[in-house]
C-alpha cells in the first residue's frame, strides 16, 4: 500500500464520502443526458468516483480499502441516484464486487490488485456458463447478458454451475473470476431505461479459470468462504444474498428522491393550461409528493435498520435468523415496485410536460422501471417464498 493510500484510509470518514457524493449531484443531473445518449457512463464520471474513494468503501483494508459498514455504501449510492440512476446503478454493482472478492482465496485478490488496487470488477451472475473440470480448475465458456459498467472494468464475475461429482453429488453454482484478456464485450445495450449503465453482453470462449478464482454460492450462504478476511472481519461475514440484492434496489430509492426534487421544481410553478389553476394547490398533486417523500424516508430507515442488525450479528459471530433473511430478501425485491408506483403518480400530476425526453421525471420513471426488471427485484418470487415460510412451507430460496 502506498503512503497516499494509507493517508486516504486514515483521514476519510463516512460523512466526508457522503458529502462528496452530494457535491457530485449537480454534475450528474447534467451528465445524465450524455450518459443516456452514449449508452455508457462517461469515463470522467467514473474517474470522479474513483478520486472520491467511493469504490473503496467495501474494499478490504489490505488492498487500500476503507472496510466501512454497508450503510455508508448505500448512502453514497442513494445520493448519486438523485442525479443519475445509471451512475448509481453501476456504482452499486461494481463497488459491491470489491466486497465479494474478499470472500475469494487470497491468491485471486492478488491477481486483481497486486499491481493496482483501483482495478474494478464487473459481473453477470446468470448461471449460463459451460463448465468443464480440468486439472487445476475449469475450462469455461458462454455468453452472459446485463454486465453493468463492464467497459470500465478489467475483470468480471460470471455465473456457472459445476457438474455433480462423487464427492459433491449436487450441482454447485459458482462465481467465476475472469480477466479482460479472456472475455469480449458485445455492444447490445439498447433499452428504454438505465441507458447509461452500458450493461452489455460478455462472451468467454474456452478460458481456463483456476479453482481458486471461483466462489461457491453454498460458501456464501453458510459463511464458509475461503477468503482470509471473511473469517476475521465482521463486514465480510454478512451473507452475500443480503448485500448484493440491495446493490440493485438501493439506487431506486435515491432515484425516487431525485424524482421528488424534480417534481417539486416543476409542480411548485406549474399552472394548468386548460384550467389556469396552480398544480401546487391541487390536493392530488400534494398527496402524490407527500406519499413519495414518506416512502423514501421509510425505505431509508428500514434499510439502515436491517444492516444495523446484520452487522450486529456479524460482530457477535452469529448467523442472522434464516426467516429474517427471507423477509429481508423480499423487502429488498419490493423496493423498486413501491418506488415506481409513487413516481408514476407524480408524473401524472405534471401533465404533458412530463412526457418529453428532456424531462428528468420521465427519465427517473423509466430508469426505475428498468431496474424493476432485474431478477433480484421481482417481489412476487421472493414474496411468495416469504409468505410460504410463514405458512409452514420450506424455503425455496438459498441465495439468502
Do 375 and 267 share a domain, yes or no? yes
Q: Does residue 53 lie within any of the structural domains? A: yes
Domain extent for 71:
3-113
pLDDT at position 276 over 90: no
Do 318 and 346 share a domain, yes or no? yes
pLDDT attached to residue 281: 81
pLDDT at position 99 over 80: yes
Phi then psi dihedrals of residue 214, to 5 deg? -125, 155
User: Where does a domain end: 70, 88, 113?
Assistant: 113
Q: In what order do the strands lie in the sheet with 137-147?
A: 184-186, 200-210, 137-147, 121-134, 155-162, 172-179, 214-216
Do 256 and 355 share a domain, yes or no? yes
CATH code, domain with 353: 1.20.140.10
Do 279 and 347 share a domain, yes or no? yes
Are the CB atoms for 64 and 56 separated by under 8 Å?
Answer: yes
Could you tell me the CA-to-CA distances from 143 to 156, 214, 274 in Å, in that order?
A: 12, 18, 53
- Going by the DSSP 8-state scheme, the letter that residue 231 receives in this structure is G
3-state secondary structure of 156: strand
CATH code, domain with 207: 2.40.110.10
Do 273 and 384 share a domain, yes or no? yes
pLDDT at position 390 over 50: yes
Complete DSSP assignment for 125-151? EEEEEEEEEETTEEEEEEEEEEETTGG
Q: Does residue 93 lie within any of the structural domains? A: yes
Q: Is the dihedral of CA 276, 281, 287, 289 positive or negative?
A: positive
Instruction: Give the tens place of pLDDT for each residue, 139-158.
Output: 999 999 999 999 999 999 99
Instruction: Give the tens place of pLDDT for each residue, 329-358.
Output: 999 999 999 999 999 999 988 877 778 888
CA distance 362 to 202: 30
Q: Does residue 108 lie within any of the structural domains? A: yes
Could you tell me the CA-to-CA distances from 249 to 38, 134, 191, 209, 226 in Å, in that order?
A: 24, 37, 18, 30, 28
User: Where does a domain end: 186, 219, 252?
Assistant: 219
Residue 231 CA neighbour count, 13 Å, CB half: 8
Do 304 and 383 share a domain, yes or no? yes
Do 58 and 177 share a domain, yes or no? no
Residues found in the chain: 400
Instruction: Give the tens place of pLDDT for each residue, 320-332.
Output: 999 999 999 999 9
3-state secondary structure of 50: helix
Residue that wins the pLDDT comparison between 293 and 172: 293
74, three cell numbers:
448505500
Do 105 and 44 share a domain, yes or no? yes
Do 261 and 347 share a domain, yes or no? yes
Complete DSSP assignment for 238-274? S-HHHHHHHHTTHHHHHHHHHHHHHHHHHHTT-B-TT
Helix (DSSP H) and strand (DSSP E) numbers for the chain: 13, 7
pLDDT at position 7 over 70: no
pLDDT at position 119 over 90: yes
Do 307 and 331 share a domain, yes or no? yes
Q: How confident is the model at residue 267 (pLDDT cuts 50, 70, 90)?
A: confident
Q: Which pTM does this prediction carry?
A: 0.93
Instruction: Give the tens place of pLDDT for each residue, 193-233.
Output: 999 999 999 999 999 999 999 999 888 777 788 888 888 99
Residue that wins the pLDDT comparison between 353 and 160: 160
pLDDT at position 20 over 90: yes
- Going by the DSSP 8-state scheme, the letter that residue 99 receives in this structure is H
> 194: exposed, middle or buried (C-beta count within 10 Å: 0-12, 13-18, 19+)?
buried
Q: Who's near 396: CB < 8 A, 6+ residues apart?
A: 385, 388
Query: Rounded to 5 degrees, what angle do the CA atoms 307, 309, 315 make?
Result: 100
Rounded to the nearest 10°, the torsion over CA 391, 393, 395, 396 is: -120
Q: Does residue 79 lie within any of the structural domains? A: yes
Q: Who's near 169: CB < 8 A, 6+ residues apart?
A: none
Q: Does residue 144 lie within any of the structural domains? A: yes
Q: How confident is the model at residue 161 (pLDDT cuts 50, 70, 90)?
A: very high
Do 142 and 62 share a domain, yes or no? no
Question: Closest Cα partner for 288 from 339, 342, 341?
Answer: 342
pLDDT at position 3 over 50: no
Q: Considering the chain, what percentage of its residues have pLDDT values greater than 90? A: 80
Q: How confident is the model at residue 1 (pLDDT cuts 50, 70, 90)?
A: low
Do 321 and 378 share a domain, yes or no? yes
User: Where does a domain end: 113, 135, 164?
Assistant: 113
| Of the listed ranges 253-267, 274-288, 329-343, the one predicted with least confidence | 274-288
Q: In which element (H, E) is residue 157 found?
A: strand 155-162
Q: Does residue 225 lie within any of the structural domains? A: no
Are the CB atoms for 166 and 114 separated by under 8 Å?
Answer: no
Q: Does residue 400 lie within any of the structural domains? A: no
3-state secondary structure of 13: coil
Q: How confident is the model at residue 266 (pLDDT cuts 50, 70, 90)?
A: confident
CA distance 139 to 208: 5
- Calculate the average pLDDT of the chain: 92
Q: Does residue 290 lie within any of the structural domains? A: yes
How many structural domains comprise the chain? Answer: 3
pLDDT at position 14 over 80: yes
Amino acid at each position: 500500500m502506498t503512503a497516499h493510500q494509507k493517508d486516504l484510509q486514515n483521514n476519510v470518514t463516512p460523512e466526508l464520502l457522503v458529502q462528496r457524493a452530494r457535491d457530485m449531484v449537480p454534475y450528474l443531473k447534467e451528465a445524465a443526458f450524455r450518459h443516456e445518449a452514449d449508452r455508457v457512463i462517461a469515463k470522467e464520471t467514473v474517474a470522479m468516483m474513483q478520486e472520491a474513494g467511493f469504490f473503496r468503501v467495501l474494499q478490504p483494508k489490505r488492498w487500500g480499502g476503507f472496510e466501512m459498514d454497508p450503510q455508508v455504501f448505500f448512502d453514497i449510492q442513494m445520493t448519486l441516484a438523485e442525479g443519475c440512476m445509471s451512475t448509481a446503478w453501476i456504482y452499486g454493482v461494481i463497488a459491491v464486487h470489491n466486497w465479494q472478492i474478499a470472500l475469494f482465496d487470497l491468491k485471486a485478490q492478488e491477481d486483481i490488485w497486486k499491481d493496482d488496487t483501483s482495478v474494478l470488477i464487473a459481473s453477470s451472475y446468470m448461471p449460463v456458463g459451460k463448465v468443464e473440470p480440468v486439472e487445476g480448475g475449469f475450462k469455461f465458456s458462454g455468453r452472459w447478458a446485463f454486465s453493468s459498467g463492464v467497459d470500465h472494468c478489467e475483470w468480471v464475475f460470471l455465473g456457472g454451475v459445476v457438474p455433480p461429482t462423487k464427492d459433491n453429488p449436487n450441482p454447485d453454482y459458482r462465481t467465476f473470476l475472469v480477466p479482460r484478456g479472456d472475455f469480449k464485450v458485445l455492444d447490445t445495450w439498447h433499452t428504454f431505461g438505465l441507458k447509461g449503465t452500458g450493461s452489455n453482453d460478455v462472451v468467454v470462449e474456452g478460458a481456463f479459470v483456476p479453482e481458486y478464482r471461483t466462489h461457491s454460492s453454498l460458501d456464501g450462504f453458510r459463511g464458509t468462504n475461503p477468503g482470509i478476511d471473511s473469517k476475521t472481519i465482521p463486514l465480510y461475514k454478512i451473507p452475500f444474498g443480503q448485500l448484493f440484492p440491495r446493490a440493485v434496489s438501493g439506487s431506486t430509492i435515491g432515484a425516487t428522491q431525485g424524482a421528488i426534487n424534480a417534481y417539486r421544481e416543476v409542480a411548485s410553478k406549474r399552472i394548468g393550461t386548460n384550467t389556469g389553476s396552480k398544480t401546487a394547490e391541487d390536493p392530488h398533486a400534494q398527496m402524490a409528493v407527500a406519499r413519495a417523500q414518506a416512502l423514501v424516508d421509510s425505505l431509508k430507515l428500514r434499510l439502515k435498520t436491517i444492516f444495523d442488525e446484520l452487522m450486529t450479528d456479524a460482530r457477535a459471530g452469529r448467523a442472522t435468523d434464516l426467516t429474517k433473511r427471507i423477509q429481508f430478501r423480499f423487502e429488498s425485491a419490493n423496493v423498486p415496485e413501491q418506488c415506481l408506483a409513487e413516481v408514476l403518480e407524480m408524473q401524472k400530476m405534471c401533465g404533458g410536460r412530463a412526457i418529453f425526453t428532456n424531462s428528468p421525471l420521465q427519465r427517473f420513471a423509466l430508469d426505475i422501471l428498468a431496474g424493476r426488471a432485474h431478477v433480484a427485484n421481482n417481489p412476487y418470487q421472493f414474496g411468495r417464498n416469504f409468505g410460504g415460510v410463514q405458512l409452514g412451507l420450506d424455503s425455496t430460496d438459498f441465495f439468502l
